Structure 1
Amino acid sequence: MKRLWKSLVGVSLASVLVLGGCGSTEDTQGGGEGGDDTEKTVTVAINQFVEHPSLDAATEGFKKALAENGFTEGENLEYVIDNAQADMNNIHTIANKHVSDEVDLIFANATPSAQASVQAVKKANAEIPVLFTSVTDPVGAELIEAMDQPGEWVTGTSDTHPEAIPNTIKFIAEQTDAKTVGLIYNPGEQNSVAQVEIVKKAMEGTGLKAAEASVATTADVKQAAESLVDEADVLYIITDNTVVSALESVIKVAQDEDIPMFAGELDSVNRGAMAAYGFDYADLGYETGLMAAAILKGEKKPSDFEAQYPQNLKLVINKTAAEEMGVEIKSEWDDMAEYIE
């Protein structure tokens, strides 16, 4: 399949732009004054690791950006949407299918899906743009060499603001009486391993220590939370896809045992975590969608976009969740946080 961003020498703006590996339906998108650009339907594959509110919001944000930039599903855009349901085997099957189908662009949502999509494209020596989102450590996951040095055909957005974890640990250390922070994560997710290391680094000099419980599937999450009850003074649920998919089981343990529970993203606060420094995943997906629109139009190539961190980091506290976990809201938090009920 030809790269969408290859220049077409000698072709005028009013010419037909032929995109390799896409459908045959033709549509007109607004061209310059006195003319139009006619393009074939483009096919965008979505490889999402699992269904949970944060990843779902990122996907919707991605689709919104494309829709607002001239790509209309059913007219000049076709989606191939696949969800791995947190199964590591599924992500590779999905990624290989997208490559064999010669789609025009792959949107990989979460670290495991991004790794699988990049591996599949490399293995096939294909030239398909891969845009990732909801990836904690794009460099550590070996998706790109550096945030400001994306690959020739790989770039995207990270869901880890550099200050999110340090700010959370600082809040726990300074605003609570906690000594031990309980962490639940899947060591099979590279993004989670990276976050745990950042948490431990942030704890240095604070007097806090970590108590860890590992899981392999969502079925393990409740037992892992229960195993930390006698060790942890607070729970900190990082953006681990396996754990967040079963978040309600952790919330139940935190409520029953009066253990304050912090999260790595704001959707978990809406679901019942006590607090998080975070951002809107829909915005993250939207930013990735803007990249995709420019690439599909042939205006830019992936290497033109530095990988982006999320913007607008804020602390949000769920008052109801705090009460259910036995936490008294302090007046000094009023200037630090937004509250939800």
Structure 2
Amino acid sequence: MLVPTLIVIAAAALIIWLAGPSVKQPAKIYRIGVIKAASSLEPALKGFKSELAKLGYKEGVNLEYVAAEATQDTAVTEQRFKELIESSVDLIVVVGVRETRSIKAATEKFAHSLPIVFGVVSDPVGSGVVKSTQNSGNNLTGVTPANEVLVAKRAQLFLNLVPSAKRLVIAWNSTSTSGIENLRDKIKELGVELFEKQVNNAQELDNFLATFKPRVGDVYLRATDTVSADKVQAIIDWGLKNKIPVSGTNIGDAERGSLMSYGADYESIGFQMARLADRIFKGAKPSELPIEPPGKVELVINSQTAEKLGVTIPQAMRGGVDKFIK
């Protein structure tokens, strides 16, 4: 019996020796392409990165960000995005409808299955980004601020804050993202006149602000589209110069000097985007992840701007304000 036992032991030892020491596989390093955002949308990317870190993705350890930036030249933008795609990124994160459309087109051409997580895209269906909010039908998923829906509530809160308003002024670019049709439907109920102007680009918006002659009782509602997002500070400065109250769409506008803002918290949208990215890294397909509405909507009033404009904040509104900027 001793000999067979020794043979078994020797065979086992030989197998272990041949197998050698176990080699620990290196941790997966995720590469995320990041499309540079307009300054007004940067809080969403900040939120994305901070939440992703909380989920265990540490830059320099198991995560690498690869930046790319769109330009006004379509061909240059396509080439930059092509290079980004070919750099073997695992996922692309983008905010804003203009940039989202551009990177969507690039992946359709060069890598149709590369996952994209977007944020701050109002009416993603009407904007042509996805086929439906329940199933994108493509390689995208993301979070919408739903501004096309919130615009009427924003206008109502604005008029509550400035009850002396007689005319609501808005220069808009995109029918879908600005929610202008929703606003038109509600204007009689709001009890004021609507003065609207469609602008095709930033230059046309500049020209409108330079030539428009405001009158007593005017208030300005900042449109939620790319053109107005690019010109936020110019709109706010125009309002302060002409003593016209301006309502923004998010806390960043109020921090820049608008009288108030009402809308999605962009940093919170970034948190939601990170959680979607985490699910994709764990095996989910973008088309399986419904487009999410904003998780946090807030009303912000800039007390300093109210004082400059001679606006008294109604006592009835104070309890519903999420934050005062002083």
Using structure 1 for the length normalisation, give the TM-score: 0.78
Report which stretch shifted further, 284-293 or 142-151.
142-151
1:225 to 209, 215, 226: 209
Contact kept in structure 2, 1:60 and 1:282, CA below 8 Å: yes
Structure 1, unpaired ranges of 5+: 1-34
Residue number among 265, 268, 279 corresponding to 1:280 in the alignment: 265
How far did residue 322 of structure 1 move? Answer: 1.4
Shift in Å at residue 208 of structure 1?
A: 2.8
Is 2:92 the counterpart of 1:106?
Answer: yes
One-letter amino acid of the structure 2 residue matched with residue 134 of structure 1: V
1:257 alignment partner AA? N
Q: Which has the higher helix share?
A: 2
Q: Residues 309 and 162 (structure 1 numbering): CA distance in 2 closer, same or farther, change over 3 Å?
A: farther
Structure 2 residue 286 is matched with structure 1 residue 302 = yes
Alignment equivalent of 1:81, drawn from 67, 75, 78: 67
Does the C-alpha gap of structure 1 residues 316 and 233 become closer, same or farther in structure 2, counting only changes over 3 Å? Answer: same
Cα distance in 2, alignment partners of residues 250 and 107 from structure 1: 28
Tell whether 2:248 aligns with 1:240. no
Counterpart residue type for residue 205 of structure 1: E
Q: Which residue of 1 aligns with 2:102?
A: 116
Matched, 1:197 2:181: yes
- CA–CA separation in structure 1 for the residues paired with 2:301 and 2:188: 25
For 1:6, the equivalent position in structure 2 comes to none
Structure 2 unaligned segments of length 5 or more: list them. 1-22
Q: 1:244-301: CA deviations, max 9, x gaps? A: 3332222222122221111111110011000111232111011101111221233x22
- How far off its partner does 1:80 sit? 1.3
CA deviation profile, 1:280-332 (whole Å, cap 9, x unmatched)? 2111011101111221233x222332111112322211111112223222222
Q: Which residue of 1 aligns with 2:156?
A: 170
Q: Say whether 1:212 aligns with 2:196.
A: yes
Contact 2:147-2:179 within 8 A present in 1 as well: no
Looking at structure 1, the residues matched to 108 and 89 of structure 2 have their Cα atoms a distance apart, in angstroms, of 15
Say whether the 8 Å CA contact 2:123–2:148 is kept in structure 1.
no
| Identity score, percent | 24
Give yes or no for the alignment of 1:149 onto 2:138: no
State yes or no: 1:333 paired with 2:317. Answer: yes
Cα distance, 1:234 vs structure 2? 0.4
Match runs of 1:179-194 below 5 Å: 179-185=166-172, 187=173, 192=177, 194=178
User: Offset of 1:140 from its aligned partner?
Assistant: 0.7
State the SS of the aligned residue for 2:179.
helix
Checking the alignment, whether the CA contact within 8 Å between 1:169 and 1:202 is kept in structure 2 is no
CA offsets 1:1-39 (integer angstroms, 9 cap, x no match): xxxxxxxxxxxxxxxxxxxxxxxxxxxxxxxxxx98754
Instruction: Tell me what 2:7 maps to.
Output: none
Larger Rg: 2
Contact 1:214–1:224 (CA under 8 A) maintained in structure 2: no
Structure 1 Cα separation of the partners of residues 169 and 319 of structure 2: 27
Q: Is the 8 A contact 1:131 1:156 kept in 2?
A: yes
Normalising by structure 2, report the TM-score: 0.81
Amino acid at match of 1:178: A
Aligned length: 301
Write out per-residue CA displacement over residues 84-137 of structure 1, whole angstroms, 9 at most, x where no aligned residue. Answer: 366666544443333333421111211111111222222235310011101011
Q: How far off is 1:235 after superposition?
A: 0.4
Matching residue's letter, 2:83:
K
Three-state SS of the structure 2 residue aligned to 1:165 is helix
